[in-house]
Amino acid sequence: MSNNRSKRKTLVCDRCGNTRLIHDYARGEIICPVCGNVISERAIDRGPEWRAFTPEEREKRSRIGMPLDRITPESLSTEIDWKSKDAAGRELSLKRKIEMLRLRKWHLRTRIQSSIERNLAQAAIELERLSSHLGLPKVIKDRALEIYRIALETGLVRGRSIESVMAAAIYAACRERRLPRTLDEISRYTRAGRKDVARCYRLLIRETPVKVPLPNAIDFVPRIGETLKLSTRTIREAINILREAQKLGITAGKDPAGLAAAAIYIASLRSGEVRTQKEVAQAAQVTEVTVRNRYKELAKKLKIPLPLRQG
DNA sequence: AAGACGAAAGTGGTTGA
DNA sequence: TCAACAACTTTCGTCTT
């Protein structure tokens, strides 16, 4: 298939010579679908070279984790005691006593402050690790840290891992900014696992003022379209299909990624930039069957005549 | 040979008693 | 806490191009 969008630099897999490479925007990588080679131009911060399909596998194969933290709060803090004597046991002057009182107060505050700061510092490391895996832009990272801070100040982190709360914060930030990342994608890189992250996320939504708009299939379209290297015209068409579907109210309760995939599939057939169900399904991270079911449904309800042929 | 199709059984999450 | 439930996945045999 010739590439009519020749602006994109043609890359060749250096292992098998394949030229049809898949751009994985989620991880900021270019991947060879033939041999699985990763041709990322960004040499740093690749995803793991292994793939895991079950939590057990993930556990077994993961070699990374949180840095060991031997610096406990106790080992760092000092105390200003309440005796009003100096080191030599002499009584202090009143002026000096008042000063010491102020110092103590300040010191105590600093310690509480610094416990939050320490947690945040740890969380920031985690954020950096996760977002480099996911290729997140700075706005999302900033917002995620903000949300995390809110969670921390609400006391949500206590008893939970920094990792999973941070993952939840990232997920919330992504949805808030309408840059959809699935829970799976985000939790893939955490030790905690999807379920834990989901629980933290729900808690986050319930217990804090952080509000997130409902997931919208249209938000998924650009990313899937990009992955499939579709023209903006086709992408726009897919969005229009979804708008129509939403007007008819047939999108409720359906996986937005599946709907987006179906709309893209239809649009691709219509525009002649044909993609197979398999390709679309892979890009949207749903199965072929779901694409099929959704697109049949959309075609029927929107009265799009079938079968669709290119042209 | 690859893609599309659909049936049937299985899975994980939600809801409501 | 349990069962019912809807949406999605897996698997597989068949049809179409």
* CA nearest to A225, candidates A31, A23, A8: A23
pLDDT reported for residue A213:
84
The spacing between the Cα labelled CA in A201 and the C1' in B17, in angstroms, equals: 27
The spacing between the Cα labelled CA in A208 and the C1' in B8, in angstroms, equals: 44
A114 Cβ nearer than 7 Å to chain B strand: no
State mean pLDDT over A21-34.
Answer: 54
Q: Does the pLDDT of residue A64 top 50, yes or no?
A: no
Of residues A114 and A288, more confidence is placed in: A288
Q: Does the pLDDT of residue A110 top 50, yes or no?
A: yes
Please name the residues in contact with A30: beta carbons below 8 A apart, sequence gap of 6 or more: A11, A21, A22, A23, A24, A38, A39, A40, A41
Q: Does the pLDDT of residue A61 top 70, yes or no?
A: no
Please name the residues in contact with A111: beta carbons below 8 A apart, sequence gap of 6 or more: A73, A77
pLDDT tens digits, one per residue of A133-186: 888 999 999 999 999 999 999 998 988 899 999 999 999 999 999 887 888 888
Cα A159 → chain centroid: 23
Domains of chain A plus CATH, in order, are 1-62 (2.20.25.10), 115-207 (1.10.472.10), 217-302 (1.10.472.10)
State mean pLDDT over A39-67.
Answer: 42
Task: Band the pLDDT of A16: cuts 50, 70, 90.
Answer: low
State mean pLDDT over A112-126.
Answer: 89
Of residues A305 and A296, more confidence is placed in: A296
**Contact by Cβ (8 Å): A162, A123:** yes
Whole-number percent of chain A with pLDDT over 90: 42
The spacing between the Cα labelled CA in A249 and the C1' in B10, in angstroms, equals: 29
The spacing between the Cα labelled CA in A297 and the C1' in B8, in angstroms, equals: 20
Q: Does the pLDDT of residue A305 top 50, yes or no?
A: yes
Q: Does the pLDDT of residue A4 top 50, yes or no?
A: no
Q: Which residues touch strand C (CB under 7 A)?
A: A 253-255, 258, 285-290, 293-294, 307
Concatenated DSSP letters of chain A: ---S-TTSPP---TTT-----EEETTTTEEE-TTT--B--S--SS---SS--SSHHHHHHH----PPP----HHHH-----S--B-TTSPBPPHHHHHHHHHHHHHHHHHHHHHHHHHHHHHHHHHHHHHHHHHT--HHHHHHHHHHHHHHHHHT-STTS-HHHHHHHHHHHHHHHTT----HHHHHTT-SS-HHHHHHHHHHHHHHSS---PPP-HHHHHHHHHHHTT--HHHHHHHHHHHHHHHHTT--TTS-HHHHHHHHHHHHHHHHS----HHHHHHHHTS-HHHHHHHHHHHHHHTT--SS----
Half-sphere exposure of A255 (CA within 13 A, CB side): 17
pLDDT reported for residue A215:
83
pLDDT reported for residue A39:
55
Q: Pull the structure tokens for residue A12.
A: 């060749």
**Contact by Cβ (8 Å): A131, A141:** yes
Strand C, nucleotides covered by protein (CB < 7 Å): 6-11, 17
A289 Cβ nearer than 7 Å to chain B strand: yes
- C1'-nearest nucleotide to the CA of A293: B6
pLDDT reported for residue A296:
95
State mean pLDDT over A38-58.
Answer: 42
The spacing between the Cα labelled CA in A161 and the C1' in C10, in angstroms, equals: 33
State the Cα–Cα distance between residues A304 and A241, nearest whole angstrom.
10
pLDDT tens digits, one per residue of A217-226: 999 999 999 9
Q: Does the pLDDT of residue A18 top 50, yes or no?
A: yes
Amino acid type, A306: L
pLDDT tens digits, one per residue of A244-301: 999 998 998 899 999 999 999 999 999 999 999 999 999 999 999 999 999 999 999 9
The spacing between the Cα labelled CA in A265 and the C1' in B13, in angstroms, equals: 27
The spacing between the Cα labelled CA in A52 and the C1' in C12, in angstroms, equals: 25
**Contact by Cβ (8 Å): A260, A224:** yes
pLDDT reported for residue A163:
92
Global confidence as pTM: 0.69
The spacing between the Cα labelled CA in A271 and the C1' in C6, in angstroms, equals: 33
Protein residue with the closest CA to the C1' atom of nucleotide B12: A195
Query: How many beta carbons lie within 10 A of that of residue A298, not counting itself?
Result: 22
* CA nearest to A186, candidates A178, A197, A200: A197
Q: Average pLDDT over chain A, rounded to whole?
A: 78
pLDDT reported for residue A128:
95
Radius of gyration of chain A (CA): 26
pLDDT reported for residue A3:
36
- C1'-nearest nucleotide to the CA of A280: B3
Task: Band the pLDDT of A34: cuts 50, 70, 90.
Answer: low
A194 Cβ nearer than 7 Å to chain B strand: yes
- C1'-nearest nucleotide to the CA of A289: C9
